[in-house]
Chains A and B, each alone.
Chain A
């Protein structure tokens, strides 16, 4: 019941999280540069192929990725209805104007959302927060205080979920749960904040008592490696981005957004 809980042994779980995050960057840049259906569709095809080969097949079609399959068409639809009109007009209703251009933009947006979100969700499911912290601190040399503080804070998210549930029941017990959903929600959110701060400060005391933030060099019990496997993951990410860009250019659909 916590975001920071230990992940089961998924493929790529042992790869340095920094590499996994880095691998998604080139494709994101490509897909932000151009707004066309070809690049994103090719990227999705590559992603599905690569993830299935690596062994993420079951995860790809699990409920964990469901939000993407729901959110992407919705984003696309809003572009279809309200996107910049151009070309032939198919349907008009008040401010809604469905044109050839807006249909294309809608399709391009929907595939884009899927192509960017899918690897993010799948790869993040394989990332253990502790490993991510190790990677951020040891590979990228971010400040240990900041990284470990955030990691410890993440653990409190789970208790906040429980707190929220209990706060709701407590309000029912206090006789104030019949009316005023909005006001009660705000009050409850404030109470949650107070509880989170208290728990956080206890945790900070416990960490400090164990030498956290003491002067002197900190050592790391776990090694964040960055070797062949990490470079390979990044290379695959670059390759997918290159294929998507090349396909769009060859198909003649490559259009840099601000051009």
Chain B
């Protein structure tokens, strides 16, 4: 199709007519018989429970669902009256994972990538690259390394890459789910500015409604299988369908899904004390210095701070997985139960009943072929009798609503299911202390509520919980103490990125 037919700055119109898509190898379609019209220039927030086919619709609009080998399409999905798959360049897509969508090693080259693919002349490419970087507020030289960008900067880079292509339609699939609060606003504002300047139509998927409410003018809610549940002006839809949205796991504005009852302060007892602790991922390069903290049984400590301050490294150190660079990490006899020395000296098996760890990305800790086998890994390592093993596994499957999935491969679960399973694997060996790295991050409100309840139930059982988190709702509604990590000036090699901290009751 000759390019002059579609000038790229004109906002795009979307039209779905009885559209459906079934992924190859699945029995039921992800989206079925969807009818939808979006006028040029509209700004749409697309909501729905996980499994409602939101992402499928977005990927369909971006033309990246693939061909007949990848799945079966029914009906029509049109952009400006042409099939979406044939309208490459009319739409641009920004995905959730900031790490997985940087294509090139230099900032300028990355933005230029899409333009090269569209066959834009070289003289024009660089002026468009500069304009796009400027529009998203990335004030960096073209040859800046993309490896050195923060999560928020990477998402804005992805947006610039899309913007440079001058699409009539910008599609955003949970663009801020992996970012800290500052990064979320950074990206949201860049999207709003870009939409104002270019007039492009945009469609965004996000659980956190309050983030996007100020910049959208229409909300569409999809139910199971892509059925249209609600559609209209934001305020009207949110008021009229609050119950359904809540059931679908949507975070309604200024609503925290659940508040924990206050902890029993008298029952608290110290488990692990960090005394002027320096932590490092790679030996000799501390990222955080002089941390004083105490994990207490029957209490929940939230550790907060910006991306890159060293929260994960601190978590892995407190969990006995990394050796501290300096300082002491003292386990109370109640936690150590005979294991000698600091936790990093304990044997892998000794950790199981003492400190459980839930990693930021659940995939990193899956080692078995089925959900049930995954839960049995810990009990087997402890050589528990089969009856006890089965009893624990069954109880966990039930309490975390994973029974239906017992025979499924852990890698095939949805995001929320993976998170629940990774928590369950840590609980199967009943540790006295639990370290959680971003447990509620990017989760919908339903999973959030379940996790919050579970963590508080552990607290009430006397388990000591420490959670690294960006999630202010979690800090407010669930944690009882907060340790805030601050970034300091990084100038000399002996000054780490993050430094000491203030621990205060909430």
Chain A partners chain B: yes
Closest CB in chain B relative to A186 CB, distance in Å: 11
Identify A175's interface contact among B125, B126, B348, CB under 8 A.
B348
Indicate if the CB atoms of B119 and A217 lie closer than 8 Å. yes
| Sample of 16 A–B contacts (CB below 8 Å) | A130-B105, A130-B109, A155-B104, A170-B365, A173-B321, A175-B429, A178-B348, A202-B97, A203-B101, A209-B91, A211-B165, A212-B113, A219-B119, A219-B120, A219-B122, A219-B125
Determine how close the nearest CB of chain A comes to the CB of B159; give it in whole angstroms: 12
Give the complex CA separation of A12 and B125 in angstroms. 26
Q: Please report A residues at the B interface, Cβ cutoff 8 Å.
A: 1-2, 4-6, 128-130, 151-152, 155, 158-159, 163, 165-167, 169-178, 187, 191, 194-195, 198-199, 202-203, 205-214, 216-223
- Contact call B109/A210, Cβ cutoff below 8 A: no
Give min CB distance, A88 to chain B, whole Å: 51
How long is the Cα–Cα vector from A128 to B143 in the complex, in angstroms?
A: 12
- B425 contacts A by Cβ under 8 Å: yes
Interface centre among A130, A173, A214, A221 (most CB of B within 10 A): A173
Which one of B220-228, B232-240, B256-264, B375-383 contacts A? Answer: B375-383
Q: A176-B381, A202-B97, A205-B95 are in contact. List 6 more A-B contacts (CB 8 A).
A: A174-B381, A174-B425, A175-B352, A176-B348, A187-B367, A209-B91
Q: CB-nearest residue of chain A relative to B93?
A: A209
Pair A166/B95 contact, Cβ less than 8 Å: no
* CB pair A210 B114 closer than 8 Å: yes
| Residue in A172, A210, A214 whose beta carbon sits within 8 Å of that of B162 in the complex | A210
Determine whether the beta carbon of B88 is less than 8 Å from that of A175: no
* Interface residues of chain A: helix, strand, loop or mixed (majority): helix
Contacting A at CB under 8 A, from B317-350, are 319, 321-322, 347-349
Contact indicator per residue, chain B 106-133, by CB within 8 Å of chain A (1) or not (0) = 1011001111111111100110010000
Q: Are B364 and A163 in contact (CB under 8 A)?
A: yes
Within the complex, which residue of A158, A167, A213, A218 is in contact with B364, where a contact is CB–CB below 8 Å? A167
| Assembly CA distance A212 to B92 (angstroms) | 12
Closest to B365 in A: A170
Q: Are B106 and A173 in contact (CB under 8 A)?
A: no
Shortest Cβ distance from A177 into B: residue: B348
Chain B 352-404 residues near chain A, CB threshold 8 A: 352, 356-357, 359, 361, 363-367, 377-378, 381-382
Most central of B62, B117, B316 by chain A CB within 10 Å: B117
The answer, among B316, B322, B378, for a CB contact under 8 Å with A174, is: B378
- Using a CB–CB distance below 8 Å, which chain B residues touch chain A? 59, 62-64, 88-89, 91-93, 95, 97, 99-106, 108-109, 112-122, 125-126, 129, 143, 145, 147, 158, 161-162, 165, 281, 316, 319, 321-322, 347-349, 351-352, 356-357, 359, 361, 363-367, 377-378, 381-382, 411, 425-426, 429
In this complex, the member of B116, B125, B381 whose beta carbon has the largest number of chain A beta carbons within 10 angstroms is B116
Chain A hits for B92, CB < 8 A? 209-210
**Does A175 lie within 8 Å of B105, measured CB to CB?**
no
What is the bound-complex CA distance between A193 and B54, given in angstroms?
A: 28
> Which of A158, A169, A174, A213 is in CB contact (< 8 Å) with B367?
A174
Tell me whether A169 and B118 are in contact (CB under 8 A): no
Shortest Cβ distance from B358 into A: residue: A173
A170 touches B364 (CB 8 A): yes
Which chain B residues border A151 with CB–CB below 8 Å?
104
* A208 CA to B161 CA, complexed, in Å: 12
Quote the shortest CB–CB distance from A119 to chain B (angstroms): 24
Contact residue among A171, A174, A209, A218 (Cβ-Cβ distance under 8 Å from B62) = A209
B99 / chain A contacts, CB cutoff of 8 Å: 159, 199
Q: Determine the residue in chain B with the shortest Cβ distance to A162.
A: B281
Tell me if A219 and B93 are in contact (CB < 8 A). no
- Which of A6, A199, A209, A210 touches B105 (beta carbons < 8 Å)? A6
B204 to chain A, nearest CB (A): 15
Residues of chain A within 8 A (CB-CB) of B101 are 202-203, 206
- Contact residues in B for A177 (Cβ distance below 8 Å): 348
Bound CA–CA A77/B126 (angstroms)? 55
Contact A173 B351 (CB under 8 A): yes
Given A4-B105, A159-B99, A210-B114, CB of A205 within 8 Å of CB of B145: no
Q: With A and B bound together, what is the CA distance between A112 and B425 in angstroms?
A: 54
A202 interface neighbour in B91, B100, B322, B377, Cβ under 8 Å = B100
* Smallest CB-CB A-B distances: 9 pairs: A211-B117, A210-B114, A177-B348, A206-B101, A175-B381, A221-B112, A209-B93, A202-B100, A175-B352
Instruction: Report if A220-B100 is in contact (Cβ < 8 Å); known contacts: A175-B349, A176-B381, A212-B113.
Output: no
Whole-angstrom distance from the CB of A15 to the nearest CB of chain B?
Answer: 17
Q: With A210-B117, A211-B165 known to touch, is A171 a contact of B367 (CB < 8 Å)?
A: yes
- Using CB atoms, name the residue of chain B closest to A169: B321
Docked-complex contact A174 and B103, CB < 8 angstroms: no
Q: How many whole Å from A204's CB to the nearest CB in chain B?
A: 9
Q: Report the separation of the CA atoms of residues A234 and B382 in the bound assembly, to the nearest whole angstrom.
A: 64
For B366, the chain A residues whose CB sits under 8 A away are 191
Contact among B103, B122, B381, B429 with A210 in the assembled complex (CB-CB below 8 Å): B103
Q: Distance in Å from the Cβ of A99 to the closest Cβ of chain B?
A: 47
Beta-carbon nearest neighbor of A151 in chain B: B104
Q: With the chains together, A4 CA to B110 CA distance in Å?
A: 13
Q: Is the CB of B105 within 8 A of A223?
A: no
Instruction: State whether B59 touches A205 (Cβ < 8 A).
Output: yes
Decide: B100 and A199 in contact? CB cutoff 8 A: yes
Among A1, A195, A221, contact of B147 (Cβ-Cβ < 8 Å): A1
Which of B93, B102, B117 touches A218 (beta carbons < 8 Å)? B117
Contact A206 B95 (CB under 8 A): yes
Measured in the bound complex, the distance between the Cα atoms of B119 and A217 in whole Å is 6
Is there contact, CB below 8 Å, between A166 and B364? yes
Which residues of the other chain, B, contact A155 by a CB distance below 8 angstroms?
102-105
Which residues in A have their C-beta under 8 angstroms from that of B281? 165
Q: Are A211 and B359 in contact (CB under 8 A)?
A: no
Known: A214-B118, A221-B122. A2 touches B64 (CB 8 A): no
Tell me whether A166 and B100 are in contact in the complex, defined as CB-CB below 8 angstroms, given that A217-B119, A221-B126 are known contacts.
Answer: no
CA distance in complex: A151, B281 (Å): 28
A137 and B103 alpha carbons, distance in the complex (Å): 17
- Within 8 Å CB of B147, what residues of A? 1-2, 4-5, 158
